[in-house]
Chain A
Amino acid sequence: MLPVLAAPAWMLAVVFVPLAAALLCFLLPRRAVILGLVAAVLTAAVTFALTLEVAAAGTAHTLLGGWAAPLGILWRADGLSAALLAMTALVGVTVSLYAAAYFRDDAHARVFFWPLWLLLWTALNALYLSADLFNLYVTLELLGFAAVSLTALGGGAAALTGAIRYLLVSVLGSLSYLLGVALLYHSCGSVDIGLVAACIPDAPRPASQVAAAAMMAGLILKTALFPFHFWLPPAHGSAPAPVSAVLSALVVKASFYLLLRLWLDVLGGGGRWAAELLGLLGVAAVLWGSVLALRQERLKLLIAYSTVAQIGYLFLALPLAVAGGAAAWTGALYLALAHGLAKAAMFLSAGNLLRFGGHDRIAELDSAVHRLPLTLTAFALAGVSIMGLPPSGGFIGKWLLLKAAFAQGRFGLVVVILLGGVLAAAYVFKVVGHAFTPAARERRLRTVPPGMEWSALLLAAAAIVLGLTLPLISPLLQVGAAPAAMATAFAAWSAA
Chain B
Amino acid sequence: MSALFDPRLPADALLPLLVLASSLLPGLVVFFLGEARVRTRTALNLGGAFLKLAMVGWMIWGVYHGQRYELRLPLLDDLDLVLRVGALSLLFLVLSAGLWLVTTVYAVGYLEHSPHRSRFFGFFSLCVTATVGVAMAGNLLTFLLFFEMLTLTTYPLVVHRGTEAAREAGVVYLTHTVLAGALLLAGTVWLYTLTGTLTFAPQGFVGDVADSHPAALTAIFALLIGGVGVKAALVPLHGWLPRAMVAPAPVSALLHAVAVVKAGAFGVVLIVYDVFGIEQAAALGVTGPLALVAAVTIVYGSLRALFQDDLKRRLAFSTVSQVSYIVLGVAIVGPLASVGGIVHLVHQGVMKITLFFCAGNLAETLGIHKVSEMNGVGRRMPWTMGAFTIAALGMIGVPPMAGFISKWYLSLGALEAGVHWPLYVLIASSLLNAAYFLPILHAAWMREPTTPWPEPATSAQSGSSARRLQPETGWLLLLPPLVTAALSLLIGLFASMPVSPLEWSLLIAEREFHYP
Which residues in A have some Cβ–Cβ distance to B below 8 Å?
373, 384, 387, 389-391, 396, 398-400, 402-403, 406-407, 414, 418-419, 421-422, 425-426, 429, 433, 435-438, 467-472, 474
Contact = CB atoms under 8 A, between A and B. Distances in A.
B148 A399 contact: no
B162 interface: yes
Contacts of A468: 1, 73, 75
A399 B77 CA distance: 12
Given A390-B148, A402-B189, A436 B76 contact: no
A425 B182 CA distance: 11
A257 B73 CA distance: 31
A118 to B, nearest CB: 34
Contact of A391 (B75, B185, B192): B75
Interface in B374-412: none
Interface stretch (B43-51, B166-174, B295-303, B455-463): B166-174
Contact of B76 (A407, A422, A470, A472): A470
A418 B159 CA distance: 25
Contact of B1 (A435, A469, A474): A469
B167 A433 contact: yes
Contacts of B181: 389
A389 B152 contact: yes
B74 interface: yes
A403 B193 contact: yes
A390 B189 contact: no
Instruction: Please provide the 3 A-B residue pairs with the shortest distance between their CB atoms, ordered closest to farther.
Output: A390-B145, A402-B189, A436-B159
Given A390-B145, A425-B178, A468-B1, A437 B167 contact: yes
A437 B159 CA distance: 8
B162 A418 contact: no
Given A403-B193, A407-B193, A425 B162 contact: no
B170 A471 contact: no
Interface of B: 1, 31, 73-77, 81, 141, 144-145, 148-149, 152, 155-156, 159-160, 162, 166-167, 170-171, 174, 178-179, 181-182, 185-186, 189-190, 192-193
Contacts of A470: 74-77
Nearest to A437: B162
Given A384-B152, A406-B193, A436-B156, A418 B76 contact: no
A384 B185 CA distance: 15
A422 B160 contact: no
Contacts of A436: 156, 159-160, 162, 166-167, 170
A469 B2 CA distance: 11
13 contacts: A396-B75, A396-B76, A399-B185, A414-B186, A422-B178, A433-B167, A433-B171, A436-B160, A436-B166, A468-B75, A470-B74, A471-B74, A474-B77
A384 B181 CA distance: 13
A390 B77 contact: no
Contacts of B193: 403, 406-407
Contact of A406 (B81, B179, B190): B190
Interface centre among A419, A421, A437 (most CB of B within 10 A): A437
B148 A403 contact: no
Contacts of A467: 75
A399 B182 contact: no
Contact of B144 (A387, A390, A419): A390
A422 B181 CA distance: 9
Given A390-B148, A403-B192, A406-B189, A471 B77 contact: yes
Contacts of B178: 387, 422, 425-426
A422 B148 contact: no
A429 B152 CA distance: 10
Chain B contact residues, majority secondary structure: helix
Contacts of A373: 31
Interface centre among B1, B149, B174, B186 (most CB of A within 10 A): B186
Contacts, number: 78
A198 to B, nearest CB: 32
A64 to B, nearest CB: 37
Contacts of B179: 422
Nearest to A430: B171
Nearest to B145: A390
Given A418-B185, A422-B178, A389 B148 contact: yes
A469 B170 CA distance: 33
Given A414-B186, A436-B156, A436-B167, A429 B174 contact: yes
Contacts of A469: 1
Nearest to B178: A425
B182 A438 contact: no
A450 to B, nearest CB: 13
A229 B170 CA distance: 33
Nearest to B144: A390
Contacts of A437: 159, 162, 166-167
A402 B31 CA distance: 35
A396 B76 CA distance: 7
Given A419-B182, A471-B1, 19 more contacts: A389-B152, A390-B145, A396-B76, A399-B76, A399-B185, A399-B189, A402-B189, A406-B189, A406-B190, A407-B193, A422-B178, A425-B174, A433-B159, A436-B167, A436-B170, A438-B162, A468-B73, A470-B74, A470-B75
Interface centre among A384, A400, A429 (most CB of B within 10 A): A429
A421 B1 CA distance: 27
Contacts of A472: 1
A387 B155 CA distance: 16
Contacts of A384: 152
Contacts of A429: 155, 171, 174
B82 to A, nearest CB: 13
Contacts of B155: 429
Nearest to B192: A403
Contacts of A389: 148, 152, 181
A48 B97 CA distance: 43
A137 B397 CA distance: 77
Nearest to B159: A436
Contacts of A421: 182
Contacts of A426: 178
A389 B141 CA distance: 12
A440 to B, nearest CB: 11
A252 B152 CA distance: 30
A400 B79 CA distance: 12
Nearest to B182: A418
B302 to A, nearest CB: 32
Contacts of B171: 429, 433
A418 B182 CA distance: 6
A407 B185 CA distance: 15
A474 B78 CA distance: 11
A406 B220 CA distance: 12
A436 B168 CA distance: 12
A403 B189 contact: yes
Interface centre among A389, A398, A414, A421 (most CB of B within 10 A): A389
A405 to B, nearest CB: 8
A422 B189 contact: no
Contacts of B156: 435-436
A402 B186 contact: yes
B156 to A, nearest CB: 6
Contacts of A390: 141, 144-145, 148-149
Contacts of A406: 189-190, 193
A111 to B, nearest CB: 38
A399 B198 CA distance: 14
A437 B156 CA distance: 10
B356 to A, nearest CB: 21
A391 B145 contact: yes
A433 B170 contact: yes
A30 B196 CA distance: 60
B301 to A, nearest CB: 27
B32 to A, nearest CB: 9
A472 B81 CA distance: 15
A155 B250 CA distance: 52
A302 B460 CA distance: 50
Contacts of B174: 425, 429
